[in-house]
A and B are shown apart, each in its own frame.
Chain A
Amino acid sequence: MTAGLTAGRDLAGIPPLLQVANLTVRFGPVRAVDGVSLDVAAGPFGLGLVGESGSGKSTIGRAIVRLVRSSGGSIMFAGQDVRALRGPALKMYRRNAQIVFQDPDNSLDPRMLIGTTIAEVLRAHQVVPRTAITERVAALLAEAGLDPAFAERYPHQLSGGQRQRVAIARALSVQPQLLVLDEPTSALDVRTQAHILKLIARLRSERKLSYLLITHNFGVVSELCEQTAVLYLGKIAEIGATKMLLRAAAHPYTVALRSAVPEVNVAGRRSRIVLPGDPPDAANPPSGCVFHPRCPLAVARCRTEVPELRDAGPGHQVACHRAEDVLAGAQMPTRRRPPAIARPEGAAGSEHL
């Protein structure tokens, strides 16, 4: 599957569709998002937000579509200040920026027919004349790869993948320019995930969509996003072209995150970087670099001095004191994966049943 990524497209001079600058979101004393800046180019364009639970990636997505209140910074969409929108202007913005959630079980009303769910949006935003609603619902379902007859079904009569297609069709019904896809495939089987990712790739080129793809799995962004931001405890650890982050990451966290992704073909040949412990508590963040307690390369400076996001190459920024060492191939403690087929002694010949 190739999404036809436009990594080579010259985006210089074209104002980005969405500009997030120094965004902060606080929940009480907790800084869930702490000074994040991102640009999303006009479509077709994909920006991946990658990080573990608690990294703030979903909160960023929700702040952008105005589902959570941001406490500082700015969000500009096509020249408009999103944080200041009220009334009709906010309603208009919601047509332009839509979100698809991880779990379609919770985002679809179980008592509403699929067709009604989508028709409700078309009516609320007066997207098409009343008489054309049924026809448009059918067209949207077909575009999402579903039989238009599903309009007459309830969510529980559909599979998880089909429900996620409905959620995507609903988001597309208002013809948005920007989609926030919040872990759209994490609740699905791998094969269903592949089908949904293909659907996103198709819609991206057909509709010239811009999207933020939020995930904890590098494998998911690798095929769909030109740019990726790696988040850790509410901050950007590293941001740049996805290809480059996969090939030559400058932050030890990016390297570790990438090495944690299971792959079929390299089992037993690659070693994985050990990342001890869980991400720290955002209510009580570590001093200095927030990643230092888990970082295999941490030195004294990392415990006291917060690393600023700085250039690590063209279109590539990193917040790490030791970025140069990482780029130069500094060794991180690894755990060699035993060959996947290391059979205990005496098992030979007993494989065929």
Chain B
Amino acid sequence: MTGSTGRLNISGLEISFGSRQVVSIEDLRLDHAEILGLAGESGSGKSMTTLAILGLAHTVGATVSGSIALDGQELTGLPQETLRAFRGRRIAAIFQSPSTAFNPVYRVGTVVTKALRLHGATRSEASDRAGEAMRQVLLSPDLMRRYPSQLSGGQLQRVAIALAVALRAEILLADEPTSALDVTVQAEVLDLLRDLRESIGMSILFISHDLAVVAELCDRVAVMRHGLILEQGPASQVLSAPASPYTAELLDSVPKLASAT
């Protein structure tokens, strides 16, 4: 913990396409070893927020103003070359579809070691750390010799997480990382994220439209709609006594197993 401020602090963040503002976040904080859920539907601005944190919003034509600070260091406005030292290395990201996150013509091990080399590891360091990270996400290092098409969706998502682990990322932005997976595989990935928070103190921004998943994993929740944060607070509080009718509706939408009994 770094006192009362979090590891990642966002304030007065505004993201626009031309004159149309798509995200406006007063205040959002991610603490050390915390899992923060950012819940909302398609179009709520949650993925744009991820891109802005990664310093990639301009690649889709958006402009960003306001403050995004990592351990007190301001990230907005940094030149891309400087940002590169943060992106991947300190702030990693995983996305909904792991199959599109990997280049299909490279072995997954090549992707992981290449990223490590770009961030300064020697060849042998890179391969050691990649193998170690694979074990940390409960995969056999042998799988690194395979191509993305030879791995299941759950395995690929774990390789993507292994990359973040190998880079010793402090913050993981997880954008709907389990939405494309079977429920059983989803359960495993959620367990893994929880483990990483406990074992290496990773801070995780977990983005999802599914409040049941958020309820399982997250310490705190921020509910987003139309680019605004409607409410945020401890998961227990927001999910048991939502202040916003929209949160209540999202909660209601989760299919109830109990109703069949």
Measured in the bound complex, the distance between the Cα atoms of B78 and A149 in whole Å is 48
Q: Which of A32-40, A87-95, A216-224 contacts B (4 or more CB under 8 A)?
A: A216-224
What mask results when residues 227 to 264 of chain A are scored 1 for a CB within 8 Å of chain B, else 0?
00000000000000011001100000000111011111
Q: Which of B28-36, B64-72, B86-94, B129-137 contacts A (4 or more CB under 8 A)?
A: B28-36
Does A84 sit within 8 A of B, measured CB to CB? no
**Best-buried of B32, B154, B218, B259 by chain A (most CB within 10 Å):** B259
CB <8 Å contact, B183 and A190: no
**The one of A190, A272, A340 that contacts B187, using a Cβ cutoff of 8 Å:** A272
Does A132 sit within 8 A of B, measured CB to CB? no
Nearest residue, chain A, Cβ from B4: A350
Contacts A191-B249, A264-B211 hold; do A52 and B184 have CB atoms under 8 A apart? yes
Does B153 sit within 8 A of A, measured CB to CB? yes
CB <8 Å contact, A261 and B183: yes
CB <8 Å contact, B34 and A344: yes
Q: What B residues does A14 contact at CB under 8 A?
A: none
Interfacial residues of chain B within 237-252, with CB under 8 A of chain A in the complex: 239, 249-252
CB <8 Å contact, A197 and B255: yes
Q: What B residues does A218 contact at CB under 8 A?
A: 183, 257
CB <8 Å contact, A260 and B31: no
Does A189 sit within 8 A of B, measured CB to CB? yes
* Interface band, chain B: 35 or more
Q: What B residues does A313 contact at CB under 8 A?
A: none
Q: How many residues of A contact B (CB 8 A)?
A: 51
CB <8 Å contact, B32 and A189: no
Does B213 sit within 8 A of A, measured CB to CB? yes
CB <8 Å contact, A343 and B234: yes
Interfacial residues of chain B within 12-38, with CB under 8 A of chain A in the complex: 27, 29, 31-34
**Best-buried of A257, A267, A272 by chain B (most CB within 10 Å):** A267
Does B185 sit within 8 A of A, measured CB to CB? yes
Does A160 sit within 8 A of B, measured CB to CB? yes
What mask results when residues 148 to 183 of chain B are scored 1 for a CB within 8 Å of chain A, else 0?
000011110000000000000000000000000011
Does B60 sit within 8 A of A, measured CB to CB? no
Does B1 sit within 8 A of A, measured CB to CB? yes
Interfacial residues of chain B within 204-261, with CB under 8 A of chain A in the complex: 209-213, 215-220, 232-236, 239, 249-261
CB <8 Å contact, A347 and B256: no
Minimum Cβ distance to chain A for residue B15 (Å) = 20
Q: What A residues does B209 contact at CB under 8 A?
A: 189-191
Nearest residue, chain B, Cβ from A342: B219
Does B186 sit within 8 A of A, measured CB to CB? yes
What mask results when residues 322 to 338 of chain A are scored 1 for a CB within 8 Å of chain B, else 0?
00000000000001011
Q: What A residues does B212 contact at CB under 8 A?
A: 190, 261-264
What are 30 A-to-B residue pairs whose CB atoms are below 8 Å?
A52-B182, A52-B184, A53-B153, A191-B41, A191-B250, A191-B253, A194-B255, A219-B254, A222-B255, A223-B259, A223-B260, A246-B261, A258-B257, A262-B186, A262-B190, A262-B210, A262-B216, A264-B212, A265-B258, A267-B215, A275-B184, A275-B187, A340-B236, A341-B235, A341-B236, A344-B31, A344-B33, A347-B34, A353-B29, A353-B232
